Chains A and B, each alone.
Chain A
Amino acid sequence: MLNPNLKLNSKIFDEDVEKKATREGFGKAIVSLGEKDQNVVVLTADLSESTRTEEFAQKFPDRFFECGVAEQNMAAIAAGLAIAGKVPFISSYATFSPGKNWETIRTTAVYNQANVKVAGHHSGIMTGPDGCTHQATEDIAITRCWPKMTVLVPCDSIESQKITTWAGEYKGPVYLRYSRDKSVVMTTEETPYDGKVQEFWISENPQVTIFATGHELYYGLLAAKELESAGIMVNVVNVASIKPLDEIGILELVNKTGAAISVEDHQVAGGLGGALAELFVAKKPIPMEFIGLQNTFAESGSPKDIIEKYGMGKTAIMEAVKKVITRK
C-alpha cells in the first residue's frame, strides 16, 4: 500500500491523475529563490524557454545572463560569479551541460567547491522524439563520480520545486536532473523532503526492495501494486539524492528483504544502480537486478514506446523482481 505517512497524491493510480514535467518545478523554484536572495543569478545557453528560465529572466533581467550556444563559457562564467559570492544556476540540456562542458565544471566549479548549480534538463528518454542526441542517459554517472558533488533527481514536479529550493539554499556545487515530458505527480505539497530515502510503497514482510529515482519511480509503484495482487510483496523506495547516498537508510531497508532492484531512466552503468551496487558489495552483498538502459543508446519515439521497447516499464520491473527472488 501507499505509505500514508508521506501524504502522497491520493489519485496516483487514477486515470485522470495530474501529470506535469519536473522542469516546471525548477522554473517556479528559481523565481522564488530570486525573490528571497539578491545573489541568485541564472544563466542559460540559448534554451531559456524549454528550460523554464523565462519567468526569472523577466522578473530579474539584471540577474539573468544569456550566453548563447556556448556551454563551456556559461559554466566558467558561473564559476566566476560563484567565487565572487553569487548563487548561479546554469540551465541547459544535460547532454550539453554537464555533458559537453564536463571538464569546465570539474575544474572551475567542483574542484573549487564553487557554489554553482548545474540544472541539467531533458534528461533520460523523456526527451523521446528528439532522439538519442538529446536524451541525457549518462549524466548521473559523470557527475556522481566527482568528489563532494551533490547529485539530485526529483521524482515529480512538486518534489522538483522542493529540491531546487533546497539546492539554492545549500552552499556548494549541485547537479540537478530534470525531464522534459510530463510525468505523474506522485507527491503533494505536504510530502516531506529531507534528502533521505522514502518508502512510497510499503508491505508487510516484503521480499524485495525496489529503489527508484526520477519519474521511473511511478513504474515501480505500478509494478508493486500488481505484484501484491499476485501475492508478491515488495517495498518501493524513492532515492532523490544519488549523492550523498542515504547509506544508513538504504541498508536498513535491504536488511528487511535481502534483495534489491534499481530503477532509473539512465544507463544502468554508473547511475543509481551502480551507486547502490557499490554500497551493497562493500556493506551487505545481496542479489540485485538493474532496470534502465542496458549498454545501449535509446532512439526516437514516444517516452511510453521507448520505455516499453527498452525494458524500463512495469512488466520489466515485475520480471526483475521475480528473478531476484530466485537468486536469494
Chain B
Amino acid sequence: MARAETRPETWLYPTPRGLFCAPGNFYIDPPAGAERALITHGHADHARAGHKHVLATFETIEIMKVRYGVNCAGQFQIARYGSSETIEGVGVRFVPAGHILGSAQIVLEWAGSRIVVSGDYKRADDPTCAPFELVPCDVFVTEATFALPVFRHGPVTGEIGKLMQSMARQPQRTHLVGAYGLGKSQRVMKLVRLAGYDRPIYLHGAHAALTDLYVRLGQDFGDIRLVSEASAEDLAGALVMCPPSALGDRWSRRFDDPVAGFASGWMRVRGRARQRGVELPLVISDHADWPELIDTIVATGAEDVWVTHGRDDALVHQLGQMGRRARALALIGRDEEAE
C-alpha cells in the first residue's frame, strides 16, 4: 500500500493542459503545445500536433505524420510494445490496447504503485491491430465511450454477414458504408476481405491517405480504388467506404439510390441509426462494450478506477455497487462521437 504522500492521485492527475505525471514531468494525450507528450493512439482527440517531444508507438507516429505533416512535433521517440524505459524515475511501458493500429495502453510505475492509462481499448478480435494485453495494476484509467449496459456488441462476423447479404440481395445498389477513417474503415475492409469479398473496394478521398499508410505498414486490403477515379458503371453495386458525415452530404448524391450503411457501436440503438437515416446499421465498435469494460476492470485487479470520457456516470455507479473505488476524471477535449 502506497504511503499517503505517494498515493497515485498525487503524482498523476488532470490539469487544464492534460493528464499530467508530475514526477515524470510529462502529459498523456495532451492538447497541443506540451513539452513532453506520451500518446496512446492516433485518433485526433488523443494525438495532436504541436508538442515539443512525442513518445508513441511507431505506427502512432506515422499516423500523426500523415495527418499533421512530418514536422508536427519537435522530436519523435518510438516506444516499442513491451519494452520499458524510465523518464525522471517513472517507469514507462507501452502495451497493446487493441483499439486501432499502433494503439497502446501506457503503464506507469512510481513509488511502488502501478497505473495503467488505457487510452481507448477493446477486447474483441481485430485483424488490423495487436490484441489488448491485460496488465494487473493498482489504478486503471479507463475510457467509458459505451459504458451503458445496453451496449453489448455481438460478434463482428454477424455484422459483416449482414453487409455481405445486403450486397448479394441488392447487387445493383451501391453500398456506402460510413466509418471512422482511422481504424474502423480499415477494419471493415479487412473483415470483408476475410469474408471472401473479392471485388474492388472504393474509397472516399478522405480515407485514402490513412489507408495508404496501413498498406505501407503491411496491411493488405486487396483491390482498393478511389471513388473520384471511378466511373458510374464501376460504382453501381460497389462497396464504398466513406466518412459518416459524407452519407448525408452532397458527395453522396453521385450515387443512384445507394444503401446507406454505418459501422459504429452506436448503431446498437435504433434511434441513433434513424437519426442518421441509416438503412444498414452495422454494430462494429473499436471500443470496449459494457461487459468488456467491467470484465477488464475486474481482471486488472485495480483498487482504484478512474473513468475518463464517455458515460462515466453509469460506470462509476456500477463499480461502486461492486465495492470498488471509482471516480470520474474530467478530461477536456475528448470527442464522444468519434467512433
- A and B: partners? no
- Interface set of B (CB-CB < 8 Å, partner A): none
List residues of A whose CB falls within 8 A of some B CB.
none
